[in-house]
């Protein structure tokens, strides 16, 4: 059953066994899993079936950060959520990602990798990339001695699947509509979560449509699945009984917010032999959409006490790897910010060496592209590292006093790359350079070495837009908002689903893990509902 709350002349109250708030990857997966339970499921979606400016504008937030992607661009607020624009890279997280690592403060999941593996199996069918992992053997055999050499140097080749990518709203709407026990209500915005006076459970939700007509939803269980930022905001906004918001007795709701910073870290100049082998590997997998990348082995991460990160090898033209162009940007930034440039002579030398490329780049900005130029020639493999960010309590979601069009307090994101994260990146780059050099595979030019103005972590920084950690899971209520089953600590019937429950984020895009943890939650809820 599909109801558009905006078209109802009179809003009525709703009753369900399970109310799911949010129609993204987590919410839709949970609803699909619950079809067989024959319990009445109500799925609330704040947007409609297609994007509208009215709905999308509710994602506007203040941002306090040297650089962070606008929250109206990184997320989509309509049925299917951000799966409507995801890239489709899926892989399980590594076993080490779930461990409590002594060198990563606040790390450690309340569940293990092996515990989640069966759910990954089921998750991969939802994202249409079953079986769980690609068969890496032909790829690794093909790489032959290079694989052994990288292994010896402490790095491993990896493959990840590419989902079509599955747009959950489009792909699964028919199946949900056909289910007699599922009601989907669109344009149903969550206004508040209403706790009982003794704070032990949630009694109801208040929702409203875009005409500000409100309704009450009563259910036995509630699951908040609004996304990595909005999950925290929804709990913070519901502070009528618990000061500071539901589950926020220890001030943790909104804290430890993480993303995957993608950093232009280095240019790798491999030997010709390696390039030939790598390109043949690409041809081998042309018919199957895999991503190929390198990551530090588990032993390397332990030995050097580093968080996880992904090293993607992408051949780049000289225009993208020119240090002269980068030096010109460094000087431009230093002048505009009136800051000293310690290596000014070195930058001037770089500009002089690449003056033809700089001129060409300038001409290209005016739409004048030469037919043949050095700028398009091979310029090495540009490596953009997707980093695991250390959980940092200062990275957080808070509420402001500004109200959105529904009258709710707007959120603010505090986000930064901490000095320790920057140091991790430097150490990882050095480690990769040493490993590649010692194995005779090539040499490395570090972009960090050229950076005098912090451009690496500002202008050049891009994002996975994977919002995680703001309602983290832990056995201990002093260290997490939800428990191992994703139930808010101290509350009997409210759960949180999605990447906001991840205590750490690995370097792996989160969708497969969101779906896997949600299926696990569904199994848990089925027991309680029956």
State the binding string over 312-341 for other proteins (x if CB under 8 A, else -): ------x----x------------------
247: left (phi > 0), else alpha (psi -120 to 50), else beta? left
> Of the listed pieces 115-123, 180-188, 248-256, 447-455, which binds other proteins according to CB under 8 A?
447-455
> Of the listed pieces 210-218, 233-241, 271-279, 503-511, which binds other proteins according to CB under 8 A?
271-279
CA neighbor of 422 nearest in space, from 459, 376, 457, 373 = 457
CB of 443 to other proteins, least distance (A): 5
CB of 463 to other proteins, least distance (A): 24
Running DSSP on this structure, what letter comes out for residue 94?
A: P
Q: Which of 118, 317, 353, 490 binds other proteins (CB under 8 A)?
A: 353
Residue 48 near residue 4, CB atoms below 8 Å: yes
Tally of residues, the chain: 530
> Which residues in the 115-174 window bind other proteins by CB under 8 A?
none
CA neighbor of 308 nearest in space, from 299, 319, 296 = 296
At residue 108, the 3 state secondary structure works out as: coil
CB of 406 or CB of 443, closer to other proteins? 443
CB of 265 to other proteins, least distance (A): 11
Using only C-alpha atoms, the chain has a radius of gyration, in whole angstroms, of 25
Q: Which of 409, 445, 479, 526 binds other proteins (CB under 8 A)?
A: 445
CB of 442 to other proteins, least distance (A): 5
CB of 25 to other proteins, least distance (A): 40
**Burial readout 370-389 (b: 16 or more C-beta within 10 A, e: otherwise):** eeebebeeebbbbbbbbbbb
User: Whole-angstrom Cα distance, residue 188 to residue 185?
Assistant: 6
> Of the listed pieces 61-69, 98-106, 270-278, 399-407, which binds other proteins according to CB under 8 A?
270-278
CB of 340 to other proteins, least distance (A): 17
Structure tokens at 293: 């990348």
Residue with tokens 């050099």: 437
Binding of other proteins at residue 275 (CB under 8 A)? Answer: yes
> Which residues in the 368-407 window bind other proteins by CB under 8 A?
374, 377-380
User: Whole-angstrom Cα distance, residue 120 to residue 150?
Assistant: 28
CA neighbor of 257 nearest in space, from 124, 392, 371 = 392
Residue 85 near residue 163, CB atoms below 8 Å: no
CA neighbor of 500 nearest in space, from 456, 475, 468, 525 = 468
CB of 146 to other proteins, least distance (A): 13
Binding of other proteins at residue 358 (CB under 8 A)? Answer: no
CB of 33 or CB of 360, closer to other proteins? 360
CB of 238 or CB of 267, closer to other proteins? 267
> Which residues in the 65-124 window bind other proteins by CB under 8 A?
none
> Which residues in the 250-269 window bind other proteins by CB under 8 A?
269
Q: CA dist 497 to 153, 227, 231, Å?
A: 39, 8, 8
Q: Cβ atoms within 10 A of the Cβ of 433, count?
A: 17
Q: Which of 206, 430, 458, 462 binds other proteins (CB under 8 A)?
A: 430
Q: Which of 423, 437, 475, 492 binds other proteins (CB under 8 A)?
A: 437
> Of the listed pieces 97-105, 177-185, 188-196, 437-445, which binds other proteins according to CB under 8 A?
437-445
Residue with tokens 């995957």: 260
Binding of other proteins at residue 271 (CB under 8 A)? Answer: yes
CB of 319 or CB of 481, closer to other proteins? 319
Binding of other proteins at residue 293 (CB under 8 A)? Answer: no
- By DSSP bridging, strand 494-496 and strand 214-224 are parallel
User: Whole-angstrom Cα distance, residue 300 to residue 317?
Assistant: 31
Binding of other proteins at residue 443 (CB under 8 A)? Answer: yes
Binding of other proteins at residue 278 (CB under 8 A)? Answer: no
Binding of other proteins at residue 457 (CB under 8 A)? Answer: no
CA neighbor of 147 nearest in space, from 133, 161, 137 = 137
User: Whole-angstrom Cα distance, residue 249 to residue 242?
Assistant: 8
Q: CA dist 307 to 227, 285, 302, Å?
A: 24, 29, 9
CB of 328 to other proteins, least distance (A): 15
CB of 281 or CB of 379, closer to other proteins? 379
CB of 39 or CB of 323, closer to other proteins? 323
At residue 4, the 3 state secondary structure works out as: strand
CB of 428 to other proteins, least distance (A): 12
Binding of other proteins at residue 279 (CB under 8 A)? Answer: no
CA neighbor of 414 nearest in space, from 240, 239, 262, 232 = 232
Q: Which of 215, 429, 460, 482 binds other proteins (CB under 8 A)?
A: 429
CA neighbor of 518 nearest in space, from 179, 127, 106 = 127
CB of 231 or CB of 446, closer to other proteins? 446
Binding of other proteins at residue 439 (CB under 8 A)? Answer: yes
Binding of other proteins at residue 434 (CB under 8 A)? Answer: yes
User: Whole-angstrom Cα distance, residue 73 to residue 264?
Assistant: 21
Total residues interacting with other proteins, rule: CB under 8 A: 32
Helix (H), strand (E) at residue 437: helix 419-438
Q: Which of 166, 167, 186, 446 binds other proteins (CB under 8 A)?
A: 446
User: Footprint of other proteins on this chain (CB under 8 A)?
Assistant: 269-272, 275, 318, 323, 346, 349-350, 353, 374, 377-380, 429-430, 433-434, 437-440, 442-447, 449-450
């Amino acid at each position: 059953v599909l109801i558009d709350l905006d078209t109802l002349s009179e809003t009525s109250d709703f009753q369900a066994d399970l109310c799911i708030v949010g129609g993204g990857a987590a919410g839709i997966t949970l609803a699909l899993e619950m079809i067989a339970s024959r319990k009445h499921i109500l799925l609330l979606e704040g947007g409609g079936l297609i994007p509208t400016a009215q709905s999308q504008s509710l994602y506007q937030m203040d941002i306090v950060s040297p650089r962070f992607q606008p929250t109206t661009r990184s997320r989509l607020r309509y049925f299917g959520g951000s799966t409507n624009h995801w890239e489709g890279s899926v892989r399980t997280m590594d076993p080490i990602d779930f461990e409590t690592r002594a060198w990563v403060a606040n790390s450690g999941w309340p569940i293990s990798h092996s515990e989640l593996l069966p759910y990954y199996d089921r998750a991969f069918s939802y994202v249409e990339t079953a079986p769980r992992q690609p068969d890496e053997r032909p790829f690794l055999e093909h790489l032959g001695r290079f694989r052994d050499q990288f292994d010896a140097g402490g790095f491993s080749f990896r493959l990840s699947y590419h989902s079509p990518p599955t747009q959950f709203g489009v792909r699964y709407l028919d199946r949900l509509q056909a289910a007699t026990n599922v009601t989907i209500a669109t344009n149903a915005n969550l206004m508040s979560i209403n706790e009982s006076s003794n704070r032990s459970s949630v009694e109801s939700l208040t929702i409203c449509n875009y005409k500000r007509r409100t309704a009450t939803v009563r259910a036995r269980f509630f699951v908040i699945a609004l996304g990595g930022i909005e999950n925290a905001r929804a709990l913070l906004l519901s502070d009528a009984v618990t000061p500071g918001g539901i589950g926020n007795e220890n001030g943790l709701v909104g804290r430890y917010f993480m993303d995957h910073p993608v950093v232009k870290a280095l240019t790798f100049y491999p030997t010709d032999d390696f390039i030939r082998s790598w390109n043949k590997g690409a041809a081998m997998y042309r018919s199957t959409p895999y991503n190929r990348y390198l990551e530090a082995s588990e032993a390397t991460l332990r030995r050097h006490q580093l968080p996880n990160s992904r090293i993607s090898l992408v051949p780049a033209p000289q225009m993208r790897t020119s240090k002269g162009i980068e030096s010109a940007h460094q000087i431009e930034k230093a002048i505009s910010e009136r800051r000293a440039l310690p290596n000014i002579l070195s930058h001037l030398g770089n500009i002089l060496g690449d003056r033809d490329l700089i001129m060409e780049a300038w001409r290209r900005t005016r739409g004048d592209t030469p037919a043949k130029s050095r700028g398009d020639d091979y310029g090495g493999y540009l490596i953009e590292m997707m980093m695991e960010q250390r959980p940092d309590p200062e990275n957080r979601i808070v509420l402001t006093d500004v109200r959105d069009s529904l009258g709710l307090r707007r959120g603010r994101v505090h986000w930064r790359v901490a000095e320790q994260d920057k140091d991790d990146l430097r150490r990882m780059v050095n480690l990769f350079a040493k490993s590649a050099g010692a194995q005779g595979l090539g040499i490395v030019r570090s972009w960090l070495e050229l950076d005098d103005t912090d451009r690496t972590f500002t202008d050049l920084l891009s994002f996975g837009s994977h919002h995680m950690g703001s309602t983290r899971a832990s056995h201990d209520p002093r260290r997490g908002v939800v428990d191992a089953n994703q139930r808010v600590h101290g509350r009997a019937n409210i759960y949180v689903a999605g990447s906001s429950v991840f205590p750490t984020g690995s370097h792996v895009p989160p969708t497969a893990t969101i779906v896997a943890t949600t299926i696990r939650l569904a199994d848990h809820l089925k027991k309680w509902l029956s």
